[in-house]
Amino acid sequence: MIDSRELSQRAEIVDALLSYTRGIDRLDKESVISAFHPGATLNNYGSDPMPIEDFVEYALPSLEQRYSATQHRVSNIRIEIKEDKALVESYVLAYHVKSSESSKQLHTFNGRYVDTFTLLDGHWKISERFLRNDWSKVEDIADEMAGSSVWVKGRRDFDDPIYDF
């Protein structure tokens, strides 16, 4: 049986994961960084492990330049807590829309975040992340859903309505 303390810990861990996904999609450096302890390392995002501070300086401008929209979704979140550490596996399904004047492509990534969360200074945050690629694909977007021309487009900056709260 899970007690209220463990429920609170699990909620804080899930909130950190969602802060990361919002931040990466809204290109919000502070939201991304808030999911990690200072100096946390990300593995398998390049040839060498990268501290979170370097990751945001590299990844956010790259995503902004290469894609007109992204959406990262986490699911199947498994949390195993042992004292002041937690092993957290999250499935990630990430969509990246690459637009040019003549075409659009959808780059889909399906994999897993394997995170070590640690409790430091009273907060559960990621101290190390490994990215696993289970499959990916690229496909042309030939047609869009009916109504898409009248829907309000999401923003990738602080003008997105989510920041009005």
CATH number, residue 79: 3.10.450.50
Per-residue pLDDT of 27-50, as tens digits, reads 999 999 999 999 999 998 877 899
What domain range includes position 73? 4-164
Nearest Cα neighbor of 117 from 138, 90, 144, 99 is 90
Q: Count of CB atoms within 10 A of residue 8's CB?
A: 11
Domain count across the chain: 1
Please write the tens of the pLDDT for every residue from 83-116: 999 999 999 999 999 998 888 999 999 999 999 9
Task: Supply the pTM of this predicted model.
Answer: 0.91
